[in-house]
Structure 1
């Protein structure tokens, strides 16, 4: 069993984020899903991003850091779009991180530390035509990290792994879960 922390996207901790976490739990992992928005859920990405801007992106990331304070060090961090920010910060700065799973977004490798920590794997997933997906940032990050994989899926929708949203793609999500679990199994 591995501890996984899954940070939600800009629309909040939706039923689809819970369902995705349940898929990881079904494989025997302990999955924590911090609520960075204090229960608020938004109908659109734009509304959620506006809320994050109101709170401040640094404050959103700090909420993520505080949410893991009681967890063991050996953790896999995962983040969906906006949630990639706290996931990536923790993977880069909290001792003992095993990996970061980046769904639908990423930030530059030097956003939280001058270099990527040795031994921390990266796996990134994004639709190849997702305007919100930071594909170029993901490519750069994967190019810098020795243990890194980038998986692209055909499509332009954002947040395709959230079963509670219209963008949901069941077949692509199946691959994301399968590939994520394979990485976790390899590192455990």
Structure 2
């Protein structure tokens, strides 16, 4: 079974994140869900991103690093949208990473150095999501897939950014079922 460190999106640690983490736990995995926003939640992506910007991206990444410090090194790092930043950073820079799960976002590997040789990852996004498709995320994901054999990109039909968050109107149950199947298979493989 895998040990997963999972970071929330810009709305904060909401019910949808907890439900997804619980689904992974029900399959036997250990899932840690730290709060990068120190108890704050937001109604919109813009509000959450503004909070992160005002707090400082360095501090948000630092909170992610501090959350990892007390945990073993053999983790799978997972992040949803804004949470991809600390997840991807830790997957690329913290020794012993077993994998990365990047939901709705991906940054160029060069942001954090080089992609570690042999590190498996899955990147999940909606094929008509204007954030994922138009802001460079899908391009970064495709570049990783092109250069790293063990990195997979999965696109789902739809235009919603947070399509796998069951607590939001953007939730797509069918896409989430497929995403969850793929994630559980990945965790079984790397765990």
TM-based fold match above 0.5: yes
Aligned to 2:171: 168
Aligned to 1:93: 93
Q: How far apart are 1:144 and its partner, in Å?
A: 2.1
**Residue 143 of structure 2 corresponds to residue 140 of structure 1:** yes
Higher helix share: 2
- Correspondence list, 1:25-174, <5 A: 25-113=25-113, 115-133=114-132, 134-174=137-177
Describe the SS at the equivalent of 2:112.
coil
Assess if the C-alpha contact under 8 Å between 2:2 and 2:190 holds in 1. Answer: no
TM-score (norm 2): 0.95
Runs of 4+ in 1 over 6 A off after TM superposition: none
Assess if the C-alpha contact under 8 Å between 1:127 and 1:156 holds in 2. Answer: yes
Describe the SS at the equivalent of 1:111.
helix
TM-score (norm 1): 0.97
Q: How far apart are 1:146 and its partner, in Å?
A: 2.1
State the alpha-carbon separation in 2 of the partners of residues 62 and 140 from structure 1: 26
Q: How far apart are 1:131 and its partner, in Å?
A: 1.4
* Alignment gaps of 5+ in structure 2: none
State the alpha-carbon separation in 1 of the partners of residues 153 and 162 from structure 2: 16
Describe the SS at the equivalent of 2:48.
helix
Assess if the C-alpha contact under 8 Å between 1:122 and 1:142 holds in 2. Answer: no
Assess if the C-alpha contact under 8 Å between 1:5 and 1:31 holds in 2. Answer: yes
Q: How many residues align?
A: 187
Aligned to 1:178: 181
